[in-house]
Structure 1
Amino acid sequence: MRSKIFLAYIAIMVAGSSAFAQKLPSKKNILQTLRLTNQYFMNKWPDPGKSIITNKERPSNIWTRAVYYEGLLALNTIDPQKKYYDYAVDWGEKHKWGLNGGTATKNADNHCCGQTYIDLYLIDKKEERIKDIKTSIDNVIASGKNDDWSWIDAIQMGMPVFTKLGNLYNDTKYFEKMYEMYSYTKNNHGDKGLYNREDHLWWRDKDFDPPYKEPNGEDCYWSRGNGWVVMALVRAMEELPKSDPHYAEYLQDFKDMCTALVKIQRPDGLWTASLHDPNHYGGKEITGTACFTYGFAWGVRKGILDKKIYQPSLTKAWNAMVKDAVHKNGFLGYVQGTGKEPKDGQPVTYTSTPDFEDYGLGCFLLAGTEVYKLRK
C-alpha cells in the first residue's frame, strides 16, 4: 500500500508542479469571496431560527447549522460586523440557547451548537448562553462513559466544546474527559479503533473497518470525515494549553494526518471524496478540501507545518475552490450532501444543491479565514 501511495505522491507532484507558481489572492480578494458566499446564505435564511426542511423538519440548531456558525464567528474575527454578531445571537435566542435533544443529550451532533454559544458568551457574559451546554457536558462527564463518539464526525462536533469549557471554568476535568473520549474513538471503537496508524487516516465508523474495501481494494477513508478530525484537532489545539499532558499526542496526530493528506491531493488542488480510491466518485468536492485547507493554513501560520511543502498545497486548494465552486451570487458548488461515505449525496456537481447548504459554507469560511490570516 505504501508503495502505491508513494507512486501516487510522485505523480501528483509532477502533475501539479505548476502549483508552486501559484500565489494566494490578496487579503482584499479573499475577504470579498468570504463576504460574497456568506451574504448569499444570510439572504437565503433571513430568520436564523427557521426550521430546516429536507426529508423531514429539523430545528436549526442541529450540527449542520452549528458548523456554519463556527465559520461565521471565524469570519467575524477578521471582518468584525455587527450584522454577523446579531445574526448569531438571534440564532441562539430563537432556540433559547438550548440543544436539540435537551440537556440530557449525549450526542455530539447536538453539542456542536455549544461552540458558538460559548464564543458568544465570551463576548457578552449572559449566563443563559452557556447554561444548557455546560449542563449537558457535565452530564456526559458524570456518566463515566467514554464511547459516545462512535463516528469520527463527532470528534469535531464535540471536542472543541470541552476545550472551551475547560478554559472558561479553569477546570481540567473537561480536558481530561475530552481526551478519554478521543482516545476511545481512536483506539477502541470498531475492531481496534477508528484510526489507522499505518496510513494516518481514519475510518468513518466501525462499518468501514477492514475487511471493508473500496472498489480498488484500498481502505475507505472518507474525505469529509477525515476533514472533521483535522478541524477538531485545530480547534482544540488553538485553545488547549500546551501544558496539557495530551497536547503532544493531538499535535502528532495532526502532523501525521497532514503528511498523509498532502501526498494524495489531486493535481487540481482538491481532494476526492474517497481519499485512497480517486476513481470512486472521484469528481471535485470541496467540504473535505476546505477542512484540509483550514488545517494546512493554521499549521503553516503556527510554524507547525513546513511552509515549503504545505503553503503551495493550501494555495492550490484555495484557488481551486474559489475558481471551481464559487458562483457569482455566492452559492457554493461541489458540496457533498450529508452522509458517511463517498457514495452519499451524489452526484456532486457545480450546480447541485446538497440537502443542507450550511455546513459546507461553514467549512469554507473557516478555511478562508485561516488563509486570510496567513496571507501577508
Structure 2
Amino acid sequence: MIVPNPNTARRRLVASVLLLIAILPGATAQENEALVRKIADQVIRETKLGFEGADNKQFYASAAAIPEGVAVKYASSYTGWHYTHGVLNMSMVNLGNYLNEPKYTNYAADHVAFGFANYETFKKRFPGGRSHVGYPYGEMFTMEELDDFGAMSASILALPEGKRKDEYLAYVKKAAMHLTEERLRLKDGTFVRKFPHVNTLWADDLYMSVPFLARMGKLTGEKKYFDDAIKQVVNFDKYLWDPQNQLYWHAWYSDVQRNGVAHWGRCNGWIMIAQVHLLDLLPANHPARPKLLRQLEKQVLGIAHFQSPEGLWHQVLDRPDSYLESSASAMFVYGIAHAVNQGWIGKSYASIAKTGWDGLKKYKINELGQLKDICVGTGIQDNMVFYYTRPVGLNEKHGTGPLIDAGVEILKFEKAASK
C-alpha cells in the first residue's frame, strides 16, 4: 500500500487553488489594475516640474529663479505645454476618477498650475514668440498652431471645478475665441494649416480641436461649440476617408485637391478618440448622434482589418512591413473598448480591444511599466520612407496618456464581467 506524501498533496492543493484564482475574473482585474497603476506611477516618477540650464545643467525650480541671459529647457519631457501633455492630463484625471485616487487627478492639476505660475516670465523675456528657439512655454501665449492650446485647454476643463482657477478659465475663454474666430479654415469651416501645402488638412487636428470644442459646449451650454465639433468630424471624414482601404489618410491638400501618401497609424488614432470625446459630451438626444455613431463604427471596422497577429497595429496601418507602433495601438484599444463600454457599438467588438491590450502587455510594456516603440512627433511628407523611418521612444509623451486611458477601459470591461 502506497501512503501519499502529505507535502505532495499539500503542494497539489495549493497549485489547484492558484490555478483557480488565476482564471477567475477578479484575479485578472487585480493584475491589470496593478499594471495601470504602475504605468501611471512611472510617469509621475519621470515628471520633474522645473527647468534645466541648457549649458550649465543647473536645476531651477521656477522661471523666476533663472538668471537673465541663461537659456533653459524643461527639466523633463513631461513638464511642457504641448498637446501631448493635455492628453496625459486628461488620462490622469480619468484614472483618478475611476480609481477614486486623488494623486492622479492632482498630477494634472499640478502640471497646469506650474505652467500658469511660470509662463509670464518667459513671455516678458522672450517676446519673439513660439518660433524662438531655446525657451519654454511659448506655445502657451502665442497659440500659433492647434497643437499649442487645444488639448491643453481641454485638459484644464477636465479638472475638477475646485481646481480650476479664475486665470485658467480666462485662458480657456481666450483660447476658445481664438479657435472659433481666428483659426485658418477652408470655406466650409474645416480647420487647416498653412503648410506643407497651402491650406493643408491634418488628420491630427481633429483631436487638437474637437475635445476642446465639446468641453466648451458642456461648460457654456452654447450650441455653437457642439455644432462646430460635429462639423469638423463630418468634414474630416469627407476629406480624409479612403473607402478602398477603409482607413484615413494623414493629409488632404486643398491646392492640388488630393490626399497625402500614408495611412499613418497615430493620425487614425487621433480621429478615433476625438470622436469618442465628442460622443461622451454631446447631449444624448442630439440629432447628429446617430450619424456620428455610424461613422465611428465604420472606422472601428476599418481598423479591425489591419490588426496584426500580435494584437497590435503598424506605424503605417496597411503596410505590415512597417514597425508595430504603440501609441496608435493604445488609442485603438481605448477607443474601441470605450465605445463597447458605453454601448455605442456591439459587444462583439470587445475582442479587438482585449487582444490589443494583451499585445501591449506582452510586447510593448516593460517591467517598469514603460511603453516601448512610441513614434516621436511626426509631420507630413509625401515620402513613405519618412513614415517608415520615424524614430521611436521609450515612454515618449505621445503614448503614455492613451495607454492609461486604454487600461481604464479594460478595467471597466473586467468590472462588468465580474457582475
TM category, shorter: 0.7 to 0.9
Whether 2:294 is the aligned partner of 1:252: answer yes
Shift of 1:292: 0.7
Residues 230-249 of structure 1 mapped to structure 2, 5 A cutoff: 230-249=272-291
- 1:74 & 1:40 partners in 2: Cα distance? 17
Structure 2 residue aligned with 1:6: none
- Identify which of 136, 139, 144 aligns with 1:101: 139
Check the 8 A contact 1:152/1:185 in 2, yes or no: yes
Aligned 1:80-119 pairs, distance under 5 A: 80-96=100-116, 100-102=138-140, 105=143, 107-110=145-148, 111-119=150-158
Structure 1 partner of 2:327:
287
Asked whether the 8 Å contact 1:121–1:127 carries over to 2, the reply is no
Amino acid at match of 1:246: A
8 Å CA contact retained: 2:297, 2:345: yes
Relative to structure 1, the CA distance from residue 25 to residue 206 in structure 2 (aligned partners, 3 Å threshold; closer, same or farther) is farther
In structure 2, list runs of 5 or more residues that go unmatched: 1-22, 55-71, 120-136, 193-200
Contact 1:336 1:346 in 2 (8 A): no
Following the alignment from structure 1 to structure 2, what is the Cα–Cα distance between the partners of residues 186 and 52? 44
Deviation of residue 345 (structure 1)? Answer: 8.0
Equivalences, count? 334
1:173 to 221, 224, 227: 224
3-state SS of paired residue (1:252): helix
- 1:46 alignment partner in structure 2: 48
- Please report how far the alpha carbon of residue 337 of structure 1 lies from its aligned counterpart in structure 2 after TM superposition: 1.5
Could you say which residue in structure 2 is the equivalent of 1:60? 80
User: Are 1:264 and 2:306 an aligned pair?
Assistant: yes
Within 1, Cα distance between the matches of 2:409 and 2:366? Answer: 21
Deviation at 1:37, TM superposition (A): 1.4
Could you tell me which residue of structure 1 aligns to residue 340 of structure 2?
300
CA positional deviation for 1:85: 2.5
Residue of structure 1 in register with 2:364 after alignment: 325
Which residues of 2 match residues 338-353 of structure 1 at below 5 A? 338-340=377-379, 343-344=386-387, 346=389, 353=393
How far did residue 168 of structure 1 move?
1.0
Higher Cα radius of gyration: 2
Query: 2:247 aligns to what?
Result: 201
For the residue of structure 2 that corresponds to 1:206, the secondary structure is strand
**Letter of the structure 1 residue corresponding to residue 320 of structure 2:** P
Go from structure 1 to structure 2 and tell me whether the alpha carbon gap of 1:211 and 1:335 turns closer, same or farther (over 3 Å shift). closer
Instruction: Give the C-alpha shift of residue 131 in structure 1.
Output: 1.6
Give the partner amino acid of 1:162.
L
Q: Secondary structure at the match of 2:398?
A: helix
Give the direction of change, closer, same or farther, for the CA distance of 1:251–1:311 in structure 2 (3 Å limit). Answer: same
Q: Is the 8 A contact 2:89 2:107 kept in 1?
A: no
Q: Counterpart amino acid of 2:82?
A: I
Q: How does 1:112-261 map to 2 (within 5 A)?
A: 112-143=151-182, 145=185, 146-149=189-192, 150-187=201-238, 193-206=239-252, 213=261, 220-261=262-303
Q: Structure 2 vs 1, CA of residues 313 and 181 (structure 1 numbering), >3 Å: closer, same or farther? A: closer
Distance 1:270 1:194, change over 3 A: same
Letter in 2 for 1:166: G
Structure-2 change in CA distance of 1:295 and 1:228 (3 Å): same
Matched with 2:352 is 313
More strand by proportion, 1 or 2? Answer: 2
For 2:144 and 2:296, locate their aligned partners in 1 and report how far apart those are by CA, in whole Å: 26
**Aligned-partner Cα distance in 1 for 2:249–2:376:** 18
Secondary structure at 1:26's aligned position in 2? helix
Deviations 1:121-146 (A, max 9, x none): 53435322222122221233234843
TM-score (norm 1): 0.79
Q: Secondary structure at the match of 1:358?
A: coil
Q: Which runs of 5+ in 1 are unaligned?
A: 1-20, 188-192, 214-219
Contact 2:376 2:398 in 1 (8 A): no
1:30 maps to which residue? 32
In structure 1, distance between residues paired with 2:174 and 2:259? 40
Contact map agreement 1:67 1:358 (CA 8 A) in 2: no
Worse-matched range after superposition: 299-308 or 257-266: 299-308
1:63–1:113 CA contact under 8 A, matched in 2: yes
Distance apart, 1:25 and its partner CA: 7.0
What pairs up with 1:348-363 in 2 under 5 angstroms? 353=393, 357-363=396-402
| Paired AA for residue 274 in structure 1 | V
TM-fit CA distance, 1:87: 2.0
Q: Is the 8 A contact 1:24 1:315 kept in 2?
A: no
Partner residue in 2 for 1:190? none
Of the three residues 373, 376, 380, the one matched with 1:337 is 376
Contact 1:64 1:359 in 2 (8 A): yes
Deviating beyond 6 angstroms after TM superposition, the runs of 4 or more aligned structure 1 residues are none
Highest RCO, 1 vs 2 (Cα 8 Å, sep ≥ 6): 1
Paired-residue identity, %: 20
Secondary structure (helix, strand or coil) at the match of 1:333 reads coil
